[in-house]
């Protein structure tokens, strides 16, 4: 817990807004919250500068409602799994 202005503030152990590396991945990961919704994904790059650009792009897309759509819907993935 941190002290700020005499108040105790609770910090999450996994407070990772922005860009971070995970122990189980060689890639940079992004995490941020917009309007109470958490967004988190791999950048699929090991280059920090490129990862920063990806973070900025994804945040802009989310804020302006222009998110990339997933390649498959949940139903499509389920059907592919059942066929497999």
pLDDT tens digits, one per residue of 56-81: 999 998 888 876 555 677 888 888 78
Q: What is the mean pLDDT of the chain?
A: 79
| Percentage above 90 pLDDT, the chain | 42
- The reported pTM is 0.60
Spatial CB neighbours of 3, under 8 Å, sequence gap ≥ 6: 9
pLDDT given at position 69: 58
pLDDT of residue 76: 82
Give 54 or 70, the one with higher predicted confidence: 54
Hey, where are the domains in the chain?
A: 2-83
């Amino acid at each position: 817990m941190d002290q700020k202005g005499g108040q105790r503030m609770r910090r999450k152990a996994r407070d990772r807004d922005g860009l971070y590396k995970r122990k189980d991945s060689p890639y940079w990961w992004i995490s941020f919250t917009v309007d109470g919704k958490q967004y988190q994904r791999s950048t699929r790059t090991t280059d920090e500068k490129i990862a920063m650009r990806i973070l900025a792009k994804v945040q802009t897309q989310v804020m302006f409602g222009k998110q990339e759509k997933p390649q498959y819907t949940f139903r499509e993935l389920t059907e592919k799994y059942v066929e497999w």
